[in-house]
Structure 1
Amino acid sequence: MASSQKGRKTKPLKYNLHDRCRSYTGIDRSNVDFMSMINLINHQATQEMVESGQMLGFYGHQVRQRFGMTPPESVPIDGKMVYLEPAFKTIALTADRDGNVTHQAEFLNNDSGEFARRQYLAKVGGFSTAVNYKRCNTQLIPSGFFGFDYVTQPNYTSNVGDGQLFDGLYIPERLDSQEFACFDSATAIETLDASQRTIAQLLEQQIVSQFDSVHSQMALSQYNDAANTEIHHLHHLLQKQTRKQDLQARRTQERALNMVADVRSFDSVLSEAEEYMLQMEEMQRSQDDDEQPPHRKGFFGFKGW
């Protein structure tokens, strides 16, 4: 699992519903009722999801494509339980009357969140909305806003890491209804026709492969980080040991230099010592002479007492 807690929030990201910033690629969304989209984004129900931290997003659209706009926490796939791990949550979301949408995400401290965060920091991919629509003649009217997912190629190129309407495969939510989801809504495979069943099974395989890939890459990244940390630690210890050895060598050299004196012959040292002794004797005699008291004469020629 990821461990870093720093820099997990994006800056406020902005894009305009009327401008996909694409001329030749992506899917045209000029048939969407954007005023309904604006009202839906600012609706109390949508804002409550944001404020409560429950507007979760996934890495890729496959989870919603297969298991609906509000997927369960875990699902059985090929006989094993698969945890549908979200990657981030939307922490701010607004839209003005001109179609300018501002949102902010916080990547979760798990493998999917850390993987999406690294893609975001590398400026790979961007955010793509998950929205239900109703068809009214040729126009699409948004009927449910479920947040964002992080995808490699968002339809709105200005909604990237430094989107908006996702444009992925969709399966009708109810075959007899005019309302549809751009992603599959957790419909049981056995209720689908052959082509839809194949699509659902492929989505499940993609989900399992994607989560396995994310977890493997994050585990490898953690091993690399641990190895780099150990290498850095060993390098620090080696530098410290080298400095200690250099200091010890300098101190040994200094002690050796302090012990070295001028080389002199024994005769010269003896001569200097004899001269010193003579000087000391001469000084002692001079001192004795200075300390001897003078003689006194007594009365009538007798010596003084």
Structure 2
Amino acid sequence: MASRNRKTKVLSYNLHDRCRKYTGVDRSNVDVGAMINLINSDHVQEMVSTNSLQGFYGHHIRQRYGMVPPETVIIKGRIVYLSRAFKTIELRASNDGTVEHREEFYDNEPGEIALQDYKAQAGGFSTSVNYKNIGGRLIPTGFFGFDFVAQPNYASNVGDGQLFDGLFVPEEPEGIVSCFDSATDIFQLSPSEIVIAQLLEDQIFQTYDNINSQIHLLNELGNAQGLVGELSDEMAKQKRRQELREERKKDLYTGMVHEVKSFDSVQQHAVQVLQGLDQPNVKEKQPKPKKSFGNIFSVWG
């Protein structure tokens, strides 16, 4: 039961104001000028124009498999398709730090669930960005689009958020913040990283399982509504057919009889007709006398 309108309005937020006071991650140390230039760069804009800036339902896929995850992975011995949920169709940044963007949800299971959450204002968009930490200053180095998350760090857009602000992004001094890119090869991880990678995989697996369950429920609801609608239409048709039958019957009776009379009045009329036959009220004409031949000859004579 896919929705027809799958595009968002133009969403807007400002890099200088997360609209949060007590929750989330402070981003005042981000080089806003560098972020603006990165968003407006030819590289990122070409990604937008070629429908290549795509997002997932949740950040955990990128946290586990990097900013550009593969199409499929194996989790618990099963092949899992890491389906994208939407794509960025418009993106621009102004000098005052205002970022505007529009997204289009895909007509697939993750896209449908993200779309329903967006319409319900249950969550928002959060950017996926790599950056370097230089003297405590975060310099953006790669912009990979948006994911749809439950609690975006930039809360100014209800149903919109920003900056890879799942609250678990590691920041290493003088290093590149790569959002669990080091967890790509599980055999090269430390014991603690292995645990984190396994937890992320479990979350990915559960997320897709929940998406399938929700889609199944939505389909069942749609089928039930369709059956109710069909039953209502059929009952309306039957009622109309019965009304037509009554109208035809009435027309037939109207054509067969005109004035409706009682039995007594009909009997009285019959008696009057019979009496009229016995006593005709029309006088018979008298026969004219016939002329004789004698008279004729007498005239000639």
Q: How many residues align?
A: 294
Instruction: Give the conservation status (yes or no) of the 8 Å contact 1:85–1:112.
Output: yes
The match for 1:242 is 239
Q: CA deviation at 1:252?
A: 4.3
What CA deviation, in whole Å up to 9, does each residue of 1:210-238 have, x standing for no partner? Answer: 00100111012111101210111011101
The match for 2:192 is 195
Do the aligned partners of residues 119 and 266 (structure 1) sit closer, same or farther apart at CA in structure 2, a change above 3 Å counting?
Answer: closer
Instruction: Give the conservation status (yes or no) of the 8 Å contact 2:73–2:80.
Output: yes
What CA deviation, in whole Å up to 9, does each residue of 1:148-188 have, x standing for no partner? Answer: 0001111111233282113222357xx89711213435521
The match for 2:56 is 58
Equivalent residue runs for 1:94-243 within 5 Å: 94-161=92-159, 163-168=161-166, 169-170=168-169, 178-184=175-181, 187-243=184-240
Larger deviation, residues 258-267 vs 219-228: 258-267
Instruction: Give the conservation status (yes or no) of the 8 Å contact 1:15–1:101.
Output: yes
Do the aligned partners of residues 19 and 301 (structure 1) sit closer, same or farther apart at CA in structure 2, a change above 3 Å counting?
Answer: farther
Q: CA deviation at 1:74?
A: 0.3
Equivalent residue runs for 1:264-279 within 5 Å: 264=264, 268-275=268-275, 277=277
Do the aligned partners of residues 3 and 251 (structure 1) sit closer, same or farther apart at CA in structure 2, a change above 3 Å counting?
Answer: same
Instruction: Give the conservation status (yes or no) of the 8 Å contact 2:14–2:97.
Output: yes
Cα RMSD over matched residues? 2.9
Structure 2: gaps spanning 5 or more residues: none
TM-score by length of 2: 0.87
Which AA in structure 2 matches 1:119?
Answer: D
Do the aligned partners of residues 267 and 93 (structure 1) sit closer, same or farther apart at CA in structure 2, a change above 3 Å counting?
Answer: closer
Instruction: Give the conservation status (yes or no) of the 8 Å contact 1:154–1:160.
Output: no
What CA deviation, in whole Å up to 9, does each residue of 1:250-287 have, x standing for no partner? Answer: 554675687654222675243222255469x545x57x
Structure 1: gaps spanning 5 or more residues: none
Instruction: Please give the secondary structure, in 1, of the residue aligned with 2:184.
Output: coil
Identity of aligned residues (%): 47
Instruction: Give the conservation status (yes or no) of the 8 Å contact 1:64–1:185.
Output: no
Q: CA deviation at 1:47?
A: 0.5
Instruction: Please give the secondary structure, in 2, of the residue aligned with 1:37.
Output: helix
Instruction: Please give the secondary structure, in 1, of the residue aligned with 2:220.
Output: helix
Do the aligned partners of residues 141 and 267 (structure 1) sit closer, same or farther apart at CA in structure 2, a change above 3 Å counting?
Answer: closer
Do the aligned partners of residues 276 and 9 (structure 1) sit closer, same or farther apart at CA in structure 2, a change above 3 Å counting?
Answer: farther
Q: CA deviation at 1:293?
A: 7.8
